[in-house]
Structure 1
């Protein structure tokens, strides 16, 4: 079994490591985090590996996973290369959604093969996701030799893999931001708007929850065009204009967001009507 070093065992790193360990895809060797306590906690949570305090304590591994912040990927890769931990035959991959495997240039220069692996899931609840990882789509790109090793390992832990072009990583990741991060921001604005209208916070939650859940169900069951309802779908642009004015008076950021969504929603409604 090939050995695996993990640098940055946060939410993503821990979930992948635990599943790799559970399905015996890699023998987890060393775990390096920002603090010794964090590394020790990660080892305990994963149930395998040895916590180390710095790159100088790492022993070479067959595979290295960098699940660190995007701005650290290139520099840590360079440090690993400088320490002689990457060589011909080594595999190193990072877990960034936005950065491509080209961030690992120092590893390539050292003779290693590189890749990026990005699980398309929310990692808010790592305990739950670790148990329910099967079915997760992981986008992958990089050197063929690295993917030849990583894709079967990911599939063994239940992931569905899709190979993407490194040049499209930023665009791909923006899709995930719209589908997850900005959705949270949008719901925050919706809840604040309810509360500004005099609805208590707990009632606002109860009002928004079925709307949001059913709308998402409709999107994925019926498609975006059929799922669209509301004033724009009905052609009630007078209501849209009145709401725009009221939102601008209350909170300009909310008004700007409402306005930003208006034209794309008009376009979506128009496509729906033209295809009936």
Structure 2
């Protein structure tokens, strides 16, 4: 075993990207790779250009670091299996989930390992593209100090920008990404459907919404949300808001409820805007 050997349990998009980057940078020597099948493990080894494909956990050799790049619901059971099959005393075990904290690795901690979680904040839909352009990627990191002492330099060498987070708030941290991405799409979809309800063709609706959405986002990141807020609530025009809510609810009740749910937090943001004026 190399002194900086790394084993991968799970080598989907995230696991194989990290494996390739670690191997290329010399942060770790990628040693053994285990996935759901021997064929996919061999494919992952080919992508990483390092390591040995394994058919089961029992055949994996001891390592300084273990990454569990598996689905969220598999972290705890795979960790428990690892703790039963290997001596982990002094090793570092980490996962890459944005939703689960390092406490999911309690079985490894009880077996003498140091544990952590490192969550790269980006999409891994195209692994080759991500591997080529990973530098500058933010990663939320938390866990045992001894584990972080090993992982922070390793991730820094592959270009990661590390942000320490509170493990007790890991679920809220992950929800932030949902707000910033998924729910943003839902709100723009509501805008497009509302335009179409007013007789605007879909293609034209997108062009009407495009400058509003892109300029609003640009202003948020340039000036902050308070300064970026505009519209009736920012002006204190609650009568217009009430008329809009009623009209949207008559048109489509679920979208009306979405509009209503956004009124109170937007009014609070407007109050913060006025307090800074």
TM-score (norm 2): 0.90
Partner of 1:107: 108
Q: Which residue of 2 aligns with 1:274?
A: 275
Alignment match, 2:175: 174
Q: d(CA) in 1 for partners of 2:30 and 2:108?
A: 20
Please give the alpha-carbon distance, in whole angstroms, between the structure 2 residues aligned to 1:153 and 1:79: 26
Q: SS of 2:74's equivalent?
A: helix
Shift of 1:260: 0.9
The verdict on how the C-alpha distance between 1:30 and 1:190 changes in structure 2, with shifts beyond 3 A counting, is farther
Contact 1:62 1:91 in 2 (8 A): yes
Q: Deviations over 1:60-79 (max 9, x none)?
A: 22211112121111100011
> 1:122, 1:180 within 8 Å by CA — same for their partners in 2?
no
User: Judging changes above 3 Å, is the alpha-carbon distance between structure 1 residues 257 and 20 closer, same or farther for their aligned structure 2 residues?
Assistant: same
Q: Provide the residue aligned with 2:24 in structure 1.
A: 22
Give CA-to-partner distance per residue, 1:25-65, whole Å, 9 cap, x none. Answer: 11112222234443333333333323333323322222111
**Structure 1 gap segments, 5+ residues each:** none
Q: What pairs with 1:228-267 in structure 2 (closer than 5 Å)?
A: 228-267=229-268
Which string of whole-angstrom CA distances, capped at 9 and with x for unpartnered residues, describes residues 109-144 of structure 1?
211111111122233444333222222221211112
1:197, 1:169 → 2: CA distance?
Answer: 41
Within 5 A, what are the aligned runs for 1:205-244?
205-244=206-245
**What residue ranges of structure 2 are gaps of 5+ in the alignment?**
none
Measure, in 2, the Cα distance between the counterparts of 1:228 and 1:35: 51
Counterpart contact for 1:120–1:139, Cα < 8 Å: yes
SS of 1:9's equivalent?
coil
CA deviation string 1:215-274 (max 9, x = no partner):
211101111011111222222323222221222123222111111111111111122122
2:147 is matched with which residue? 146
Q: Within 5 Å, which residues of 2 pair with 1:20-59? A: 20-59=22-61
Q: Give the distance between the partners of 1:176 and 1:254, measured in 2 at CA.
A: 22
**Counterpart in the other structure of 1:94:** 95
Equivalent-residue separation in structure 2 for 1:21 and 1:168 (angstroms):
32
How far the C-alpha of 1:103 sits from its partner, in A, is 1.0
Distance, in Å, in 1 between the alignment partners of 2:40 and 2:190 is 34
CA distance in 1, matches of 2:33, 2:243: 57
How far apart are the structure 1 equivalents of 2:36 and 2:194? Answer: 40
Give the superposed CA RMSD.
2.0
Q: Provide the TM-score with structure 1 as the length reference.
A: 0.91
Deviation for aligned residue 1:213: 2.1
1:83 counterpart residue number:
85
**1:70, 1:96 within 8 Å by CA — same for their partners in 2?**
yes
Q: Between Structure 1 and Structure 2, how many residues are aligned? A: 275
